[in-house]
Amino acid sequence: MFSIFVGSAFFWRRNREAHKRLMLLAYISIVAAATARLPGVLPMGPLWFYGLAFIFLLIAVAYDLGFCRRVHIAYILGGGLLVASVPLRLMFSGTGTWRAIAQFLVGRVG
């Protein structure tokens, strides 16, 4: 998701409003890993750490509603894609294929 949002932001870099919102969505897409590492959050499960990450999305949408009186299309499409990706991420993360990819990557890095 991060690369999709950064790539889209790069493509739309001349559209200031879309660019900054897509970059914020890129950040939100990776902040779930950080929220999972907060003390006591990981044992509560993925709904909690994704939920905590999506608080940033809600704040961004509230900002748009408060100051622009409408939600930017980047938040509607990108936020919807981000939320819809969670079940797919959770399904894929438990597969043997993903574990093999992760072990390959860790072996390369470490």
Q: DSSP string covering 29-82, please?
A: HHHHHHHHTSTTTGGG-HHHHHHHHHHHHHHHHHHIIIIISS--HHHHHHHHHH
What is the structure's pLDDT at 33? 87
For residues 58 and 48, what is the distance between their CA atoms, to the nearest angstrom? 15
Alpha carbon 34 to its chain's center: 11
Q: Which residue segment(s) compose the domain that 39 sits in?
A: 2-109
What pLDDT score does 7 carry?
Answer: 97
How many structural domains is the chain composed of?
1
* Local mean pLDDT, 10-residue blocks, the chain (110 residues): 96 96 95 90 88 94 95 95 91 89 79
